Amino acid sequence: MSYGGHVLDMINRMKQNDALRKSRRDRHAKIKDSFEKHQSLSPNGSMRQTELPREEMDEIKLCIRYKLIWDRKIFLLKSALVMLFLLLLTILFFKYLM
């Protein structure tokens, strides 16, 4: 490729980058407008949440904590069962193979 070809390629890449930048800017503006539209639909016009009493907050935190503990126990139980099953298959495989 001659020197002119390289320059032409550079110019084409610059045009493509500008077009890509413009399309991203338009998409970002559309998302921003959509967000502002939904934000204005809220009763007080803001996205702030109402404050919960301390007792309710503690209760919610406790429920989340118990849910995480329960999920962790279930995961450990499933992992143990899979490991046990694989161990059993390995033992049976080597027992009947030899």
Cβ atoms of 47 and 39 closer than 8 Å? yes
- The domain total for the chain is 2
Q: Clarify whether residues 44 and 67 are in a common domain.
A: no
Range of the domain at 24: 1-48
Please calculate the CA angle 83-84-86 and round it to the nearest 5 degrees: 65
Global pTM value: 0.44
Q: What is the pLDDT of residues 14-70, one digit of tens each?
A: 999 999 999 999 888 888 888 777 665 555 555 556 678 889 999 999 999 999 999
Q: Clarify whether residues 57 and 27 are in a common domain.
A: no
Q: Clarify whether residues 60 and 33 are in a common domain.
A: no
Q: Clarify whether residues 38 and 55 are in a common domain.
A: no
Helix (H, G, I), strand (E, B) or coil at 39: helix
- Give the CA dihedral 87, 93, 96, 98, nearest 10 degrees: -100
